């Protein structure tokens, strides 16, 4: 799981979570490495996302 959450008044917290090392590794690869990249507010990946790419996403919005 990867999503942004409001933090204090003018900040955002990035929340990354995985059920195991492989899941956490997959979600860290989704973190945008530059600004201006359009990404969903939240993403849930499954085990198939490692080889299916976007087709392995379980949900996003």
- CA atoms of 2 and 28, how far apart (whole Å): 8
Specify whether the CB–CB gap between 9 and 1 falls below 8 A: no
Is pTM, for the whole model, over 0.85? no
Of how many residues is the chain composed? Answer: 61
Q: Which tens digits make up the pLDDT trace of 4-57?
A: 889 988 998 888 888 888 888 887 887 777 778 787 888 888 888 888 887 888
H helices, E strands: number in the chain: 2, 4
How high is the pLDDT of residue 55?
86
């Amino acid at each position: 799981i990867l999503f942004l959450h409001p933090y204090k008044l003018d900040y955002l917290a990035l929340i990354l979570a995985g059920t195991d090392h492989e899941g956490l590794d997959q979600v860290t690869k989704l973190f945008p490495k530059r600004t201006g990249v359009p990404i969903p507010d939240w993403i849930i990946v499954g085990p198939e996302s490692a080889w299916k790419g976007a087709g392995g996403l379980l949900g996003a919005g």
